[in-house]
Amino acid sequence: MNNPVDHTTSPMSCDEFADVLADLLERDVTEPVRAAAESHALSCDDCGPLLADLRKLRLDAANLNDLAPSRDLWAGITERIETPVMALNSAVHRAHSLRCSSIDLRTHASRVSSR
Ligand SMILES: [Zn+2]
């Protein structure tokens, strides 16, 4: 479309709201667009709850993403810290724990990328 709507003067429609919704969630919109979208959400029984739901989902997802990797990585870190450096069989031990933690990282990476 070569005819962008001026959101500062015309009220936003549901279609226009849907168009900017993703950018709105990413806070990747200009202030007039954000204001128009927010005021549409407030006045629209469909888009208001939708926006609230998506914001909540996004927050939940962000919290999950924060928690999951740090817990997984910490397991690998403690494993390396606890590897006895002075043990006689440390070479075998270290090779084993390195292999295990790289497998952990790989499974974790594939889990993240499959989201
Ligand atoms: Zn709407």
- DSSP conformational letter for 84: -
Separation of CA 115 and ligand 1 centre (Å): 28
CA–centroid distance, residue 46 to ligand 1 (Å):
5
- Higher per-residue confidence, 38 vs 89: 38
Distance (Å) from CA 39 to ligand 1 centroid:
10
Q: How far is the CA of 1 from the centre of ligand 1 (A)?
A: 20
Long-range contacts at 76-85 (CB < 8 A, ≥ 24 apart)? 76/101, 76/104, 76/105
Residue 5 Cα to ligand 1 middle (Å): 16
Integer Cα distance of 66 and 52 in angstroms? 21
Mean pLDDT of the chain, nearest integer: 76
pLDDT at 20 over 60: yes
Range among 4-18, 44-58, 83-97, 98-112 with highest mean pLDDT value: 44-58
Domain map of the chain by residue range?
1-44, 59-115
User: What's the pLDDT at 93?
Assistant: 59
Take residue 105 and report the two structure tokens written for it: 């990282």
Please state the pTM of the whole predicted model: 0.48
pLDDT tens sequence across 59-94: 888 887 766 656 666 677 677 777 766 655 666 656
